[in-house]
Structure 1
């Protein structure tokens, strides 16, 4: 009978040890999701983990109780079988049995399969917590008193919320659970808080718009052959912006010959301005709140620096809407087998995204700015500069700007295929 009770105590000890590991290591986010879908064990486990001190108090109470009973029984059995020497034998036997069968094995199993252990255990702990609540409350109060003496507050402990970098690691390590394309989209959303509207805007010198100071036939010609859905209206300079016209509203008037300059100006909507350094995630919300799709980026003096659109921000998340890398960025052409002719005003971020490069993005935003920061001057044509593993050769400059640059990225090593390996082996 004593041996039977001893084995029962070891089994109960294994249950308390294994369930503790399972409940503490279970994926909290998966558990909350399963609880919302109606899983009873997950719901009970989530409820108890809201107050982990109570759960831990109950587990430790049960585990220590059964271990002490097992120790007493083993001592009695040892004395009855071998006298005083049986105390030593029972201590050795019980230590081995507890470590192997009640600690290492159940905890390892629970660490590997926490949900299979935690959720069934939750059905048992829920009523036990109600029965032994007075004892658990007493021991937890004593424990909190000791923590208070040590100036430790449970409320100061960190919660289970994830930082953006930790969430990035979760997405990256998800593997096959999240398709690779979806992983890129999720990581792009996380990257948006580190990017600003200047990183995706069309520079002011590349803004396509209608100059209403020009003759009407020239304006009409531009409207007819325009490829954009929305066009800015300005008077002489982009700083004199008058509004934005939607081409869909003009098509009927143009086809009927009813559009004139005054009508064009009257149909323009009020321009929307975006302060520079606005994060992309915030600007996406601003576009949504303002019911806008296009805005002009202005500096602290109110001067227009560029134009940002909703489509540009969405492309930061889902990627470019074209499959040809060279058509993703304007003013970039292939020049030879492993070199590209790039305009000095091209965005570094756009180059990295379109061509898979790893140029530094902290600091200057354009190729011109990157080179001038490196050289601390405007280099002459023919100058070669190496930044990281990329070689820049200036091909054309002006008084205040690098016009074009030839960039040579590092050569990619050819993949060693199985066929190549077999051929090399045959040649050898």
Structure 2
């Protein structure tokens, strides 16, 4: 009995020791598996919530049954992508800036506004690398109106002049922009600035035009608030904007294109067989495609076969850019028969 009881107690003691060891191993394993303070802190500080929200929103917009129209989905997607857009992506390049000299006369300024259709005109000193600011068409019209005002007097009240009309002959069109004091400030920004940041600066400063300056102090381009907004809502055209046709079909497989034409626009006119996928990462326009394919700005008369099945001839160019070109589709089978 005594021996049996001692044996049972011994067995219980062994099992208890075994259970205690197992519990200890389990606790150690839990401690190993549970993250420590440092790991927990790092995980907490990671900006995973905004990232996941953005990704979930993008996925939701791509799905069906969102309740948004196609235009609403496009606009929301553009807003989400705006944080990746930089000033250089939306600016008007230097070669396309329409500007006027500080020494230009009022008559020349009026003509320039009429020709361009813009409401703001950049003003330069010695050249485009010496941009001084801008003139707003509203300020010009205000000056002309004030200069043309005529005043008369009510009967018996010579001390109370009243407006009696406008006489444009009173406006001296020979005065220069410098003389008239019409110059307004613009913002000066680097091309690497985020477009959303520039939009915030424009709203805060009430200045809707920015000049893009490169690292050497030269003028790289120009950007307006409208240019940034168009990244979200699409092209904004008012009653003064004439739709410019950049690509035309001349028939018989011949097409003429302005070098500024987007590759998508060229493909819409020429056809889906105008396959530009190999160039899409390097160029946005047909002119950029040609420059990228050749590695240089070509001269007029240069012919390049950058798109299979097509020949592109440069019709007009200057040392800085391609201006106009002709696209010719090879007859069926001709591309395969060309010598290597």
**Shorter chain as normaliser: what TM range?**
0.5 to 0.7
Which structure ranks higher in relative contact order (CA pairs < 8 Å, sequence separation ≥ 6)? Answer: 2
Q: Residues 22-421 of structure 1: matches in 2 within 5 Å?
A: 146-150=29-33, 152=35, 155=40, 156=43, 160-163=49-52, 164-215=54-105, 217-223=107-113, 227-255=117-145, 256=148, 257=171, 260-261=175-176, 266-322=181-237, 332-336=246-250, 340-344=255-259, 346=260, 348=262, 351=265, 360-364=279-283, 366-379=285-298, 381=301, 383-387=303-307, 391=310, 393-398=312-317, 400=319, 401-407=321-327
The 3 A distance-change label for structure 1 pair 171 and 232 is same
Could you say if the C-alpha distance between residues 312 and 340 of structure 1 is closer, same or farther in structure 2, counting changes exceeding 3 Å? farther
Larger helix proportion, structure 1 or 2? 1
- In the alignment, the residues of structure 2 paired with residue 279 and residue 182 of structure 1 have an alpha-carbon distance, to the nearest angstrom, of 23
The SS at the match of 2:198 is helix
List alignment gaps of at least 5 residues for structure 1: 1-142, 410-428
Structure 2 vs 1, CA of residues 300 and 290 (structure 1 numbering), >3 Å: closer, same or farther? Answer: same
Higher share in strand: 2
The verdict on how the C-alpha distance between 1:234 and 1:353 changes in structure 2, with shifts beyond 3 A counting, is farther
Separation in structure 2 between the aligned mates of residue 398 and residue 321 of structure 1, nearest angstrom: 29
- Deviation, 1:294, is 0.8
Alpha carbons of 1:384 and 1:253: their partners in 2 closer, same or farther (altered >3 Å)? same
Q: Give the TM-score normalised by structure 1.
A: 0.51
User: In the alignment, is the contact (CA less than 8 A) between 1:294 and 1:310 conserved in 2?
Assistant: yes
1 CA distance for matches of 2:199 and 2:176? 33
Across the aligned residues of Structure 1 and Structure 2, the Cα RMSD in angstroms comes to: 4.0
1:364-421 deviation line (CA, Å, top 9, x unaligned): 455333322223345563624234x784612325463433223579xxxxxxxxxxxx
Give the TM-score of the pair, scaled to structure 2. Answer: 0.62
- Within 1, Cα distance between the matches of 2:91 and 2:322? 20
